[in-house]
């Protein structure tokens, strides 16, 4: 079984947003001009034998790039393959708390994701704390990005060390840091090792680009701490999984990485 812990089924306005111009220069792909059907995302998953993808909303200051209701609609079209991750506007704390409760109770979402670099503040900022409280109360993980940003925004807010204070303040909250924390991957490993409920996902990186420290962590005491992710559509799952055998993970570590850890952290069942 394979579970993608960080993906998007993007809206056209998300794909065309100028904030991603730098990523398009890297991938040498133009901005799309038409909406992507859910069937295309499912076909991408099929090509890589991915069973489930956790697809997220994107809430940014002053704009909604992928709304929670749009994510719910996408999930409705492929309910056995897609699961929702919500997002909220941290500048409106009470509305954010209400929306988290709606995401979990009414939309059936499995977590909430907010990206510090979009807001220009670290995850220790006071505006995040109502989100942590609501996620802990609802029993769903808080998902975020750690490491540098591809978009031309300051990266410092993605330092994994900020999550140390969050985990101390909310020890019961599950925290999933995506994008492996590079260039501070060893810092991410230290935080995940220190705190029972802090995890790392590998989204935005192909297997042949994982730092050696992360691979050693996955082979050893961190085998229960790392989740597979793609950041699709930036990286299709088939590309992300290329050269997976080069990691030399044993059968148990591989099964935990590809699905078992995500199943446990997000409390997932699959009826595909």
pTM for the full model?
Answer: 0.96
Using the Cα atoms of residue 157, residue 14, residue 84 and residue 253 in order, give the sign of their dihedral: negative
What is the arrangement of strands in the sheet containing 175-178, beginning at the earlier edge strand? 112-113, 142-145, 175-178, 198-201, 226-227
134, 102 in Cβ contact below 8 A? Answer: no
pLDDT in tens, 83-115: 999 999 999 999 999 999 999 999 999 999 999
Q: Within a 13 Å sphere around the CA of 190, how many CA atoms are in the beta-carbon half?
A: 10
Q: By the 8 A CB rule, do 117 and 89 touch?
A: no
Specify the 3-state DSSP secondary structure of 182: coil
Q: Region 151-179: what's the mean pLDDT? A: 97
- Please give the pLDDT value at position 174: 98
Give dist(CA 240, CA 7) in Å, integer: 12
Q: What six digits make up the tokens of 159?
A: 């330092």
pLDDT band at 272 (very low <50, low <70, confident <90, very high): low
Residues 226-247 have pLDDT tens digits of 999 999 999 999 999 999 999 9
């Amino acid at each position: 079984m394979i579970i993608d812990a960080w993906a998007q089924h993007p809206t056209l306005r998300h794909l065309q947003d100028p904030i991603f111009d730098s990523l398009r220069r890297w991938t040498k792909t133009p901005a799309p001009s038409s909406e992507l059907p859910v069937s295309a995302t499912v076909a991408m998953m099929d090509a890589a034998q991915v069973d489930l993808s956790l697809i997220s909303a994107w809430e940014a200051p002053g704009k909604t790039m992928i709304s929670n209701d749009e994510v719910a609609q996408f999930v409705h079209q492929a309910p056995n393959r897609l699961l929702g991750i919500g997002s909220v506007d941290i500048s409106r704390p009470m509305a954010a708390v209400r929306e988290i409760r709606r995401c979990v109770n009414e939309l059936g979402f499995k977590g909430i994701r907010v990206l510090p670099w979009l807001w220009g503040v670290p995850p220790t900022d006071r505006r995040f704390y109502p989100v942590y409280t609501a996620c802990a109360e609802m029993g769903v993980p808080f998902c975020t990005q750690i490491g540098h940003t591809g978009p031309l925004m300051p990266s410092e807010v993605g330092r994994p060390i900020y999550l140390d204070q969050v985990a101390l303040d909310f020890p019961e909250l599950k925290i999933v840091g995506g994008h492996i924390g590079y260039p501070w991957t060893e810092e991410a490993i230290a935080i995940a090792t220190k705190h029972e409920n802090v995890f790392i996902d590998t989204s935005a990186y192909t297997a042949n680009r994982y730092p050696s420290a992360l691979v050693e962590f996955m082979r050893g005491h961190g085998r229960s701490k790392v989740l597979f992710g793609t950041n699709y559509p930036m990286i299709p799952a088939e590309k992300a999984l290329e050269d997976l055998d080069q990691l030399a993970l044993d059968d148990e570590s591989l099964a935990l990485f590809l699905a078992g850890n995500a199943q446990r952290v997000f409390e997932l069942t699959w009826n595909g």
